[in-house]
A and B are shown apart, each in its own frame.
Chain A
Amino acid sequence: MTDTTNKSKLADLIKAVFTEVFDGQDSDLPAPKLKQDTILLDTGLDSLGFAILVTRLEEELEFDPFSLSDEAYYPQTFGEFLDFYHSNRPT
């Protein structure tokens, strides 16, 4: 299991899975680089892509912040997405 206390390691994992899922879409474009303020909906990854990303991350990390968190919240930027995963990691 990935050590999620290290935020930058978590960021790397998310970026890696994102790229893998993005490449699975029917597109010639390369996966965009994810920065703190990258708007997730603008990356070109569609709803299904996000759904798959969240599922794959749950498989890797063995937790799903969307199920754990009481907050009804949908992150809009990559920074928010990363924070959401980091702050909801099981301790």
Chain B
Amino acid sequence: MTFRDRISNLPDNRVLLRTADRTVDRDAILGDKIPTHLAGIRVAICFSDVSTAVRSLAMLDGIADRILLLSSSWEPELLLKLARLGSCSILLCDDVTICPEHASIRVLDNLTAIDEIAEFGTHPPTETRWVLATSGTTNEPKLVSHSLASLTRTSKTDTRRGTGQCWGMVFDHSRFAGLQVLLQSMLSGAELLAPSADWALEEKIDFLVKHGCSHLSGTPTLWRKMMMVANASNMPLLQATLGGEIADDRVLKVIAQNFPNARVTHIYASTEAGVGFSVSDGREGFPKDFLNNAPTGVEIKEQDGRLFIRNSQVEQKYLNIGDQLSDADGWVDSGDLIELKGDRVYFVGRESGVINVGGDKVHPEVVEGILMSFDGVAAAHVYAKKNPITGAIVAADFILSDRNADPAKIRSDLRVHAEKNLKRYQVPALFKIVDKFETNAAGKILRTKA
């Protein structure tokens, strides 16, 4: 069933979307003419307005071979680069003037202009692929292909449940997390509340409180921030979901306390593997049982201290790089380090040592390189330090080149050097002078510390 079919099957003409400017009901979403003459094309869509994006999805799912969702927060050069990587012949976006037309890509700013295209269209696809960009662990975005079925596999789209629910979407609808919320909400007949992306957090929360938000998802960092907004606890939440970063006991507890009627769930998911699994027992990590018996039909296992996950729905190749995503048996290496303690499995960091500072990823080696380019430093070791606001923050131990140097001066000069050469979130918040570095039994420098 296409997105259009599923929306059509909703029992009445209810409001499915509320933005700052308007409410959009079922019939309005289905109101555009289906561009059957374009069957088989590959289209990139990039709209800041959620209602336009949703209408495009309704028009194109089942017609296009591929729909590539791009974020309107990205630069035009990146949009075109990704559209090219995705072999798209059309880019639909808000403002054609900011996006110079490329030789092989038609840039259009509205859906009705689609009618005027005569040249494209080959044959209807068996199933439209929904392609999303993931930032992955390096800065270069990768494209991952899904189907509507794989994106909604764990969605509970029973309209008896959805009726009356109000889902808040504070993520970008073109990214995996935001799209999950959008689909879960719309396909179950709930009302999606989409505050404007450029509003301050307090305004977004006022909007959600005003319109009775009952279901909300966010990263742990975002939830911690929301818990600092006085009005937040006035949201009549029945479901609070966390994902995208490691959820610790502390943030789970503060949410449970502020929303006594809410079920609190944290989700482990990766764009590459499709949806992972969820935990709703209020504790960080997940039950050891899941290793043999994951609840949602996804399989998970531990190997070399890392979590491996298997999901047969995702096309097993990144679209723009040659290497296989999974091994021969379909297992995907998540790159997440896990630790078994008693009946529980805990997430302890990334295998690459990448530090997640409130959503921004930092490679310790990059920071170490900058620190070591400073004369007073003989060696530097950069690691993650736990932080109650951002989950983790960058910390650095370093060894002085000259033991007789004035430590206070070196530290302050080193900080200035780091600030000049690194992004703000990469700069260590803590600098410690040490005589030597901590290593594990195998002699490897430890990348994660309390």
Contact = CB atoms under 8 A, between A and B. Distances in A.
Chain B binds chain A: yes
A64 B430 CA distance: 14
Contacts of A24: 419, 424
Interface in B239-270: 250-254, 256-257
A72 B424 CA distance: 28
Interface in A32-86: 39-42, 47-48, 50-52, 54-56, 59, 64, 66-67, 72-76
Interface in A1-39: 24-26, 39
Contacts of A39: 230
A7 B251 CA distance: 28
The bracket for how many chain A residues form the interface is 20 to 34
Contacts of A47: 221, 224-225, 358, 389-390
Interface string B420-432: 0000110001100
Contacts, number: 68
Nearest to A59: B430
A67 B389 CA distance: 12
A76 B230 contact: yes
A88 to B, nearest CB: 12
A73 B227 CA distance: 8
A47 B221 CA distance: 8
Contacts of A48: 357-358, 360, 390, 424-425
A76 B395 CA distance: 26
B225 A54 contact: no
A39 B358 CA distance: 21
B251 A72 contact: yes
Interface residues of B, number: 32
Contact of B387 (A26, A51, A74): A51
B393 interface: yes
B118 interface: no
Contacts of B393: 51-52, 55
Contacts of A50: 389
B136 interface: no
Contacts of A40: 228
B422 to A, nearest CB: 12
Contacts of A64: 388
Given A51-B429, A72-B254, A67 B228 contact: no
Nearest to B252: A72
Given A51-B357, A55-B385, A41 B429 contact: no
Interface in B370-426: 385-390, 393, 395, 419, 424-425
B424 A76 contact: no
Interface in B205-257: 221, 224-225, 227-230, 250-254, 256-257
A52 B393 CA distance: 8
A74 B430 contact: no
Contacts of B357: 48, 51
Contacts of A56: 429-430
Interface string B180-222: 0000000000000000000001100000000000000000010
Given A47-B221, A54-B388, 6 more contacts: A39-B230, A47-B224, A51-B358, A67-B386, A74-B227, A76-B230
Interface of A: 24-26, 39-42, 47-48, 50-52, 54-56, 59, 64, 66-67, 72-76
15 contacts: A24-B419, A26-B424, A41-B225, A41-B229, A51-B387, A51-B388, A51-B390, A51-B393, A52-B393, A55-B387, A67-B388, A72-B251, A74-B227, A74-B254, A76-B230
